[in-house]
Amino acid sequence: MILANTDTVSMIAVFKEIRVPSRLTTIVEGETLFNDAAALVSFNLILVVYATGSLTVANGIKELLVVALGGSILGAILGYLSLPVFARLNDPLSSLLLTVALALGTFQIGQFLGVSGAVAVVIAGLIFGNLGLSRTQSASDRITLLSFWEYAGFGVNTFIFLLIGIEINPVTLWRILPSILFVILVYQLGRILSVYLLLAALRWFDRPIPLRWQHVMFLGNIKGSLSMALALSIPLTLPGRDNIIALVFGAVLFSLVGQGLSLPWLVKRLNISRVSDAMQEAGQLQIQLIAAKAAQDELDSLLKSGVLPKAVYEELWASYQARVAQSERVLRDLYNQHRTGQVQGDRSRFDAIRRRLFLAEKGAVSDALRKRIVPEDLVQPYIKELDEKLLKLEDD
């Protein structure tokens, strides 16, 4: 269980340097969250068995439901309760303190109630990150929060690596080297079964995952700070605790050095994301368009608040509008060339736009069905047609 999770930080760091399809990034992040939650809950169950001496199947299932579902419900409640408080805060430091209080408070309350505090924090963070940050109108507030938690994550990871280094005895590490190699072989075999065999059955439920992506997911099975944190949390009274910590440290060290260094090479070698000059230009224009639109929104906010005089506002707004018009014109020409067949290949960016539109249609129709605005017998064929269109799109 300790080595069942994957280090998202290392994977995403590689994906930031080398462009990969967004669907692959989403799959990796989702799998990591699921593996982390499963590893934490299973590890807690093992500690219960160690503390009580026995655990029946019924009690194990009950404990699993209480710990996992209880943590999810607690995190959802506290995450939603934090949203109206965050919406009323105008100071970035106060918003930052709210997120710190949410994380620490959620964990402590979860531990007090006997549910998984880690799962509760993850759920609360997902809700706050997806619903809370989008409600703030200040770009500086979002940057402050994201920068703080990025540095906090880096600091925690560094501290865990330092702590595990203090705990490890090099003599013990050398003595159990054969056991470390065996552990590495076992979890790599398990990764082969979970990736290649299980994903082969995915084609019956969803779009199949390309084989090249599966290679990346296999080699991207990098172990990190969570595995070492779980190892350090083993009770001091457990026999062989030092050997377990050394085993985990050796496996993590091999994973970070061997797989972490070879993963960028593999992604480049597989040529997962091929980008033409036309699509490269389109990406740069999209960045300019998004940035200019955001600046115009900020100008509108400054004008309404009285910070900016109207004459200065009009001058700055016009300069950004010129950039917007130029970017929109070139993007329109590229899109028309794509539609007429003058630009071959590289459909993924345009398919990504279509996918968002289809998903928006599907969400609106489903919401209308829940409100009993439209009849179900007419909605189901329409949604089925949208699903077929989504399956035909290339991965973005």
pLDDT of residue 340: 57
What are the tens digits of pLDDT across the range 332-350? 777 776 655 544 445 555 6
Phi, psi of 394 (to 5 degrees): -75, 155
Give this prediction's pTM: 0.65
> Contact, 7 vs 223, CB < 8 A?
yes
Q: What is the pLDDT of residue 1?
A: 66
From first CA to last CA, the distance across the chain in angstroms is 33
Q: Under a CB-based contact definition with an 8 Å cutoff, are residues 359 and 390 in contact?
A: yes
In sequence order, the 6+-apart residues with CB closer than 8 A to the CB of 59 are none
Tokens of 106: 């959620």
Q: Give the pLDDT confidence score for residue 108 in this predicted structure.
A: 92
Q: Which of these, 342, 329, 386, 331, lies nearest to 363 by C-alpha position?
A: 386
Instruction: Give the per-residue pLDDT at 306.
Output: 83
Task: Tell me if 387 sits within 8 A of 359, measured CB to CB.
Answer: no
φ/ψ of residue 236, rounded to 5? -65, -25
Could you please report the per-residue DSSP string of 165-225? HHH--HHHHHHTHHHHHHHHHHHHHHHHIIIIIHHHGGGGTSPPPPHHHHHHHHHT----H
The span from the CA of 246 to the CA of 255, in Å, is: 14
Q: Are 226 and 9 contacting, i.e. CB atoms less than 8 angstroms apart?
A: no
Point out the residues of the chain with pLDDT beneath 50: 342-345
Q: Crossing angle for the helix pair 260-270 and 211-219, nearest 10 degrees?
A: 170
Q: Helix 22-52 to helix 8-17 angle, to the nearest 10 degrees?
A: 170
Cβ neighbors of 58 (< 8 A, separation 6 or more) are none
